[in-house]
């Protein structure tokens, strides 16, 4: 990642493992799995160097820039201090925006989305040690409200993600059934959850146990959730969200979202 806005921090462009996806026809295999399961696992998506640059820049942003940003740039954990989420980094941080618009990333996203990709959001789920809160089962399109549902999230592990520190679990194939009924969740930062529990066979679940630099990519209708982090190890995830340029707002979904987000803080 090139941190162009911060001279002194610039390094050689680093090797991004995503390049190997294009070279090795992995792209077709990934697309097939993505269409089937609504979630794919891409080990070593980013190099160690990229991961450490993203981490450094997030730390710098939190310590130096965040206090000057609008209140909706972050959600804090219940202790009122630790960052639960950073939102709208695509607006607030030109380095991350530039990174997310790399041609090789967009090429992968274009294939998965069946159309021209538009960067929609860059955000974090920090899940700090001890106080990191859980995320209720939900479908992102209850927030995104797009039709057709050609929108996805690349979730990149910055910290190791273990069974214990709140990995994200996905239900494979759940993207094929549209957006299910929702209800306000009462969770700050994730205001909308599924109205009903979804019963699944254990083999339909994919749990994102990841090393730093590994990624998952999930469809916006794929049901997913994560548990609180009660361990001593933080579990920082860096997310980039893209939609197809051909998608539009789904008005019915939008009305439900607006109603839920007036009960809780948005997002
Ligand atoms: O990182 C998490 O715990 C939840 C992530 C999430 O909800 C998402 O990727 O849409």
Instruction: Name the one residue in this structure whose structure tokens are 């680093």.
Output: 14
Domain boundaries, the chain: 73-263
pTM over cut 0.85: yes
187 pLDDT band, cuts 50/70/90, is confident
For ligand 1, is residue 222 a contact (CB within 6 Å)? no
117-125: strand order across its sheet: 39-42, 215-219, 151-157, 237-244, 117-125, 83-86, 74-76
Whether the CB-CB separation of 173 and 119 falls below 8 Å is answered with: no
Q: What is the pLDDT of residues 86-95, one digit of tens each?
A: 999 999 999 9
Identify which of 138, 168, 225 to mutate to test ligand 1's pocket (most ligand atoms within 8 A of the CB).
Answer: 168
The finding on whether 221 has its CB within 6 A of some atom of ligand 1 is no
Q: Of 140, 113, 111, which is closest to residue 239 (Cα–Cα)? A: 140
Residue 173 has pLDDT above 60, yes or no: yes
CATH number of 73-263: 2.60.120.620
CA distance 261 to 267: 7
* Structure tokens belonging to residue 220: 């916006």
- State pLDDT tens for residues 15-69: 446 656 655 577 888 999 999 999 999 999 999 999 999 999 999 999 999 999 9
| Predicted pLDDT of residue 23 | 53
């Amino acid at each position: 990642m090139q941190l162009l806005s911060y001279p002194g921090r610039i390094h050689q462009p680093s090797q991004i493992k995503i390049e190997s996806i294009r070279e090795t026809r992995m792209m077709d295999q990934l697309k097939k799995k993505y269409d089937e399961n609504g979630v794919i696992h891409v080990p070593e998506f980013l190099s160690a160097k990229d991961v450490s640059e993203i981490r450094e820049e997030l730390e710098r942003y939190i310590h130096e820039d965040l206090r000057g940003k609008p209140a909706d740039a972050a959600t804090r954990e219940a202790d009122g201090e630790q960052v639960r989420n950073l939102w709208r980094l695509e607006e607030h941080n030109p380095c991350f925006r530039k990174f997310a618009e790399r041609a090789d990333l967009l090429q992968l996203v274009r294939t998965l989305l069946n159309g021209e990709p538009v960067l929609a959001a860059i955000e974090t789920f920090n899940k700090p040690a001890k106080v990191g809160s859980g995320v209720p089962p939900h479908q992102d399109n209850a927030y995104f409200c797009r039709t057709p549902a050609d929108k996805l999230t690349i979730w990149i592990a910055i910290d190791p993600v273990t069974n214990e520190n709140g990995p994200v679990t996905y239900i494979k194939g759940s993207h094929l059934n549209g957006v299910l009924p929702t209800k306000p969740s009462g969770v700050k930062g994730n205001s909308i959850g599924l109205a009903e529990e979804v019963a699944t066979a254990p083999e339909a679940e994919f749990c994102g146990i990841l090393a730093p630099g590994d990624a998952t990519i999930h469809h916006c209708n794929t049901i997913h959730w994560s548990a609180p982090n009660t361990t001593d190890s933080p579990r920082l995830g860096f997310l980039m969200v893209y939609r197809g340029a051909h998608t539009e707002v789904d008005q019915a979904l939008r009305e439900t979202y607006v109603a839920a987000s007036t009960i809780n803080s948005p997002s």
